[in-house]
Amino acid sequence: MTSKNKRKAIVISSGEEDEAYSPEILNAPHRRDSSAVAAKSTGARQSHNSHSRDTHHVGKAAAQSIQEQLSAWFDTVHDVRGMPWRRRWDPTLSPEAKAQRAYEARHYRPLGKPLLMVWVSEIMLQQTRVDTVIPYYRKWMQEFPTVVALSNSNIEAVNALWKGLGYYSRAARLFEGAKIVVQQFDGKLPDDIAVLQADIPGIGRYSAGAICSIAYGKCVPVLDGNVNRLLSRILALHAPPKSKATTDLLWSGAEAIVKGAKVPGAINQALIELGSTVCTPLDPKCGGCPVRTNCGAYQMKTVLYSFKGTAPSVDIEDQCDLCEPLPGSPISVTMFPMKVEKKVVPKETDLICIISWKRKGDEVPYYLLRKRPKTGLLAGLWDFPALPNLSPSAKKNQEKIARELVHKAFPQIRDRTDNKLVIKSYDGAIGSVLHVFSHVKKTFQVVLIRLESPVDVDLPPDAVPGDWMDDKQANDDEDEPEIIVKKAPKKRKITSIQDDDQDADRLKWVLEPNVSQEK
């Protein structure tokens, strides 16, 4: 080959401290097919499929290199963000101490404050920013310093401590899981990822990997949103993100990187931290990334190759059939991972029925609260009776369906069998509140139904339990079938330790000054 046909490196500045890479560096250990590297220049601009599937596999040498890079970098940033649950790995810990560390670990300095609570911190950090979690974590540690303390609590106290953090099902699963750990595992969180996923509510593959690697020093992988993005760029993987094949490939990459690590928990935390603070979605700080010499996306962005003629082809049997074409040029790190087509978030209207009661002449009314079903949106929380996702016809007849709900709760009003309880007034559309959940936008239309009894009645009437307490879609059209809101499937059935609320226990009257204090 003449010098004219030889490849030449053209360095394009990224505004960071970019390095010039030679072809030898570009042919990184996990890029096993040299033709794939070549194809990533000219060919990748036309079709990202023109490369070998081996491009997306992490070889042993590359894994070792990445481990060294991550370890050195994480040692410098370990304490920067002041996360109270982080603690450096101590190989001298006994099995009992490691089990305690999986929930919370104490150091032996004079203050003796909790430093790490792997399980709880990982659950709190799901869908929530670190700076938001830290104060909640500290309060949690003060209230529930051990898994036994948590298991001896109750769901109302747990929800009260969680108030404002959102996604309350996480708190319920932590509480439920603590009872399982105490009753079935002698108060020690299991150190086996399969057992954690099968037996502890709310723990999936990622959380199990975090617990086992950080608390127990097991070489098992983690893959959250940050690591997903980071590995997609390291592997230059531009494939449908929701595809099982894509997910499996990313898990394989995470597993290869942590395999054989001296301190696997540090490697996994480094991956998470790097994805969170450096390899960000829109503005990655590539110049400060410790693994950029092993990053396929960065190499494609930084160094372009020119050829005389067509880039070398890849054997059809080895060609990657997972990646989709890149979205134009110039190539950018932010092209990875492949973008998810955002779904339109549905909009729903719920009717919130505030039911008050007082004796004639009293000034302060009682309000009826119901405990929501154990599954579904805001499971297990107290709120006002509601009719979710109104049909078009129901929206036009809110007073009718609100009165029907009251009649189901207090049939003596409907049947006129008790002249000491009447609907004093109905106030429609006293207000509305828009609340955006991750999967639905809900508008809460609020109505007020006032009940009243004579002065000789001492206590609020007992409401009759029934399906009106659950999230049943209101429908005022005979041609439209009644729809039950779907409930999320349980991970597994636990009959011996779950709170077994009777329907009557899910209803209570609360005096007006105490409504805002209810947990």
- List the catalytic residues: 122
User: What is the tally of helices (H) and strands (E) in the chain?
Assistant: 19, 11
- List the beta strands (DSSP E) in 256-338: 303-305
How many other β-carbons are positioned within 10 Å of the β-carbon of residue 361?
Answer: 8
Evaluate whether 161 touches 170 at the Cβ level (below 8 Å). no
What number of other Cβ atoms are within 10 A of residue 400's Cβ?
A: 11
Tokens representing 460?
Answer: 């609020």
What's the first-to-final CA gap in the chain, in angstroms?
Answer: 77
- Using CA atoms, how far apart are residues 439 and 437, in angstroms rounded to an integer? 5
Tokens of 150: 């948590």
CB neighbour list of residue 478: distance below 8 Å, 6 or more residues apart: none
Which helix or strand (DSSP H or E) is residue 112 part of?
none
Contact in structure between 31 and 55 (CB atoms under 8 Å): yes
Peptide bond into 385 cis (omega under 30): no
If one counts every other C-beta atom within 10 angstroms of the C-beta of residue 476, the result is 17
CA angle 309, 313, 314 (to 5 degrees): 165
- Pairwise CA distance, residues 399 & 426, whole Å: 8
Please give the Cα distance from 256 to 66 (Å, whole number).
10
Tell me the one-letter amino acid at 396: K
